[in-house]
Amino acid sequence: MELEKDYILRMIKDLTKSIAHLILGKSEIEYELPKESEYSRVDTLYVKLIELVNMGQINEAEDLLFDEINPSDMRQFEMAMSFYLYLNDFGDDYLEKNNYSRDEITEGIRSICKEYGVSSMVDFLF
């Protein structure tokens, strides 16, 4: 079971790396926040999403992400992928305790990619 869990964790990380390379032309997805005084709307959204996740409100955070997503903003795409990578770093116990799962992480990644019109690439990677 532990081996399967490690495999899924690595698969999600590798998937996002591949997406970063194919879609963003980067080697990794790493959403970086500027100084707080320079936050954009996307930065503020990311901070709010992370706060909700840390409070155990993962489903609410994901709902907010999809309510606010703008498929013409690639910075938001990178932020969304970083959000799912952040979720992936939590243990299964934390996810389950807050009514979330690793399968939902992969489904979220697929849904974001669909919003941005790149789902065929993700389906290929899966």
pLDDT in tens, 12-64: 777 777 777 777 777 777 788 889 899 999 999 999 999 999 999 999 999 99
Mean model confidence pLDDT for the chain: 86
pTM: 0.85
Confidence band for 122, pLDDT divided at 50, 70 and 90: low
pLDDT at 7: 67
Terminal alpha carbon distance of the chain: 21
Rg (CA), the chain: 14
Own/partner pairs, 3-7, CB within 8 angstroms, 24+ separation: 5/92, 5/102
Place of tokens 């799962």: 101
- The whole-number pLDDT of residue 23 equals 73
Q: Where are the domains of the chain?
A: 2-125
